Amino acid sequence: MGRQFFVGGNFKMNGTIKSITDIVHHLNSAPLDPKTEVVIAPPGLFLLLVREHLKSEIEVCSQNVFDKSNGAFTGEISAEQLNDSKIGWALCGHSERRAILGEQDEFVASKTKAALDGGLRVIVCCGETLEQRESDKTIDVVTTQLKAVAEKTKDWSKIVIAYEPVWAIGTGKVASTQQAQEVHSAIRKWLADNVSKEAAEATRIIYGGSVSEKNCKELAREEDIDGFLVGGASLKPAFVDIINAKQ
Ligand code: PEP
């Protein structure tokens, strides 16, 4: 069976009650490709508002999750709390959290495990900086990030991998289809060699980094690109065109 195309929208720390409600109404009424799985990640403050008003075919994702289930962890949210609130997904390892908040591979892996144990599905992000790409370390960096997850998690059936080159996030510089396909195919090979052949075949590997309605169709044609994680463009009406990239 083929891998279902997957499009995630990461709103980051953007939006107000009004603007996010408008996006929800737009997504509720837009013609969306029924073959695409769609998940949106609003800021934490708006998760319940979005879950309440968004149609049930679209899942809601937390931009963060902690690696403990409850307790004295001020400001954090657990997988159990998200699950209880019908928030089915969490993002782990986004490069902004790695770079700005200092999240290391080991912590990203713990959060991923806690999210899975707490009943969530997880979008695990990986990707190299420009400096790492220019010194030919892309595959090393990405597989090291994923190895940390594999050390704590054997079951990859509830994980989507987002390959997001840091130099392409929010910069308008999208990776070429060839650059993206090359890394996606290397990740799939890594899964086959280090997790299982089944995981390599079944795991969705999505691309993120300045995806827009203009470049999505070409990227979506690549064999190992199973969808997108979309930042800036997920706040715009054109997000629908990205969801429909396979049509
Ligand atoms: C992201 O935040 O994951 C992202 C890919 O952002 P953008 O689409 O804006 O580059």
Q: Which of 196, 107, 102 is nearest to 149 (CA)?
A: 107
Q: How many Å apart are CA 79 and CA 135, to the nearest integer? A: 37
- The stretch 143-158 carries a mean pLDDT of 97
Q: Provide the residue type at 139 as one letter.
A: I
Token pair for 243: 């969801």
Average pLDDT over residues 16-34: 98
Residue 1 lies in a domain: no
Among 56, 53, 46, 61, residue whose Cα is nearest residue 13: 46
Please indicate whether residue 109, judged by its CB atom, sits closer than 6 Å to ligand 1. Answer: no
Nearest Cα residue to atom 4 of ligand 1: 231
Contact indicator for 180, 222 with CB cutoff of 8 Å: yes
User: Does any domain span residue 101?
Assistant: yes
94 is catalytic: yes
* CA distances from residue 81 to 40, 144, 155 in whole angstroms, order as listed: 18, 30, 22
22 falls within a domain: yes
Is the distance from the beta carbon of residue 127 to the nearest atom of ligand 1 less than 6 Å? Answer: no
Indicate which CATH number applies to the domain containing 232.
Answer: 3.20.20.70
Q: How far is CA 111 from the centre of its chain?
A: 14
Residue 86 within a domain: yes
SS3 call for 136: coil
Centroid of ligand 1 to alpha carbon of 166 (angstroms): 9
CA of 228 to the centre of ligand 1 (A): 9
230 ligand 1 Cβ < 6 A: yes
Mean pLDDT rounded to a whole number for the chain:
97
Mean pLDDT of 8-26: 98
Residue 71's pLDDT is: 97
| The two three-digit tokens of residue 125, written as one number | 């992000």
Both tokens of residue 106?
A: 């080991």
Q: Which two tokens stand for residue 22?
A: 């408008």
Confidence of residue 11 (pLDDT cuts 50, 70, 90): very high
**The residue to which tokens 């963060």 are assigned:** 64
Q: Is the ipTM of this complex over 0.85?
A: yes
Bridge partner residues of 227 (DSSP): 6
Structural domain for 91, as ranges? 6-243
240, amino acid identity? V
Q: Is the pLDDT of residue 116 over 80?
A: yes
pLDDT confidence tier of residue 3, bands split at 50, 70 and 90: very high
Report the residue count for the chain: 247
Query: How many other C-beta atoms can be found within 10 angstroms of the C-beta atom of residue 147?
Result: 13
20-35: average pLDDT = 98
The bridge status of strand 205-208 relative to strand 37-41 is unpaired
Task: Tell the burial category of 202 from Cβ atoms under 10 Å away from its Cβ (0-12, 13-18, 19+).
Answer: middle
Whole-number pLDDT of residue 1: 62
Q: Is the pLDDT of residue 43 over 70?
A: yes
Q: Is 231 in the pocket of ligand 1 (CB under 6 A)?
A: yes
pLDDT at 134: 94
What number of other Cβ atoms are within 10 A of residue 113's Cβ? 18
For residue 169, which atom of ligand 1 is closest to its CA? Answer: 10
Catalytic residue status for 80 = no
* Mean pLDDT value of segment 206-235: 97
Question: Could you give the number of structural domains in the chain?
Answer: 1
